[in-house]
Amino acid sequence: MTAVRKSLLLHGGLLIVLFGLQFVLPAYHHGNLARIMVLASYAIGYNVLFGYTGLLSLGHAMFFAAGMYGMGLGIRFLEMSPALALLAGLAAGLILALVVGYLALRTVGVAFMIVTLMFAQALFLTILYFGKWTRGDEGFVIQQPERVLWGIDLSDPVNRYFAALLLFAVCLLVSLWLIQRPVGRVLIAIRENQERARMLGYDIFAHKLAAVMISGGISALAGAVYGLLFGYVGATFASVQYSIFPLLWVLLGGAGTVLGPFVGTLFMFYLIDLSSALTTAHMLIAGVVLVAVTLFAQQGIVGELRRRFWRWLP
């Protein structure tokens, strides 16, 4: 079996399992999984830039929030339909990614991390500053009637799970497709040896900018869908915390693997969920496990599987 067939089977298989799980999962986990799939989509977006292109951003919450607020403000003030609002969220993320990418990519390494962090902080403070419209920290709720997309009520758990799965499937397949395409291969080449890629005739800046936009676009779409599915838009999603989360998820699951973002998000979600049932010091448990994984599985869970068993894993 060729590597392409195997990977189609694996990723298609995961999507089928996720589809089937909704019929057997108890309500609590059913709801969790919907949330995890949306957050994993965000992580997939992050992984395009961090895992595949080798650029570490500390400000991705700005893209997630741009999508969420683009969607939320569109519904709240422009009375957009949910479909149009999702597009508005995506557009907001893409425009922001273009501007931030264009400026931040003039720096490298630690400076790039700092610049992205600063841009994200600027957006966070802007959201708080315009509290009159954004309702700042408190955020605002998107009412149930505003969440009916093409006659489908997205506040209903079954529909919500479905929508989350659809988003996740699209993001997963897009990232899988991207890294098999010549342009995705160039991103990997830039991560592996930028100077070599440049001297093979590739325009490094243009490719990195494209990576920021794809990554920011996916993140924004995830943010928009998150707001729509769970009916809430708030400034927390623009905070530093939400920039760190996707980094942790991707590191845990395996940077530069297609499945890593999902595995990492799932793992960390339940790690915090289970440990908080046991003790109030749940962040301590989560921290210890994180340290253990980074010590013993340096390439993340899926990364280690690839290193040890399945070299064909994309």
Cα separation, 75 vs 78, whole angstroms: 6
Cα separation, 155 vs 165, whole angstroms: 15
Whole-number Cα distances in Å, 46 to 55, 63, 201: 10, 10, 26
Residues 6 or more apart whose Cβ sits within 8 Å of residue 60: 42, 45, 46, 49, 116, 120, 215, 216, 219, 242, 243, 246, 247
Please give the full DSSP string across 45-95, using - where no structure is assigned: HHHIIIIIT----S-THHHHHHHHHHHHHHHHHH---HHHHHHHHHHHHHH
Length of the chain equals 314
Cα separation, 111 vs 209, whole angstroms: 16
CB of 197 to another protein, least distance (A): 7
Please give the full DSSP string across 91-103, using - where no structure is assigned: HHHHHHHHHHHHH
Nearer to another protein, 186 or 250 (CB): 186
Coil vs helix vs strand at 234: coil
- From the list 167, 154, 160, 162, the residue with the least C-alpha distance to 262 is 167
Q: Which amino acid is at 273?
A: D
Coil vs helix vs strand at 232: strand
In degrees, rounded to 5, the angle at the alpha carbon of residue 222 between the alpha carbons of residues 106 and 104 is 5
Binding residues vs another protein (CB under 8 A): 182, 185-186, 188-189, 192-193, 195-204
Looking at the DSSP bridge assignments, the partners of residue 148 are: 153
Tokens of 250: 């991707």
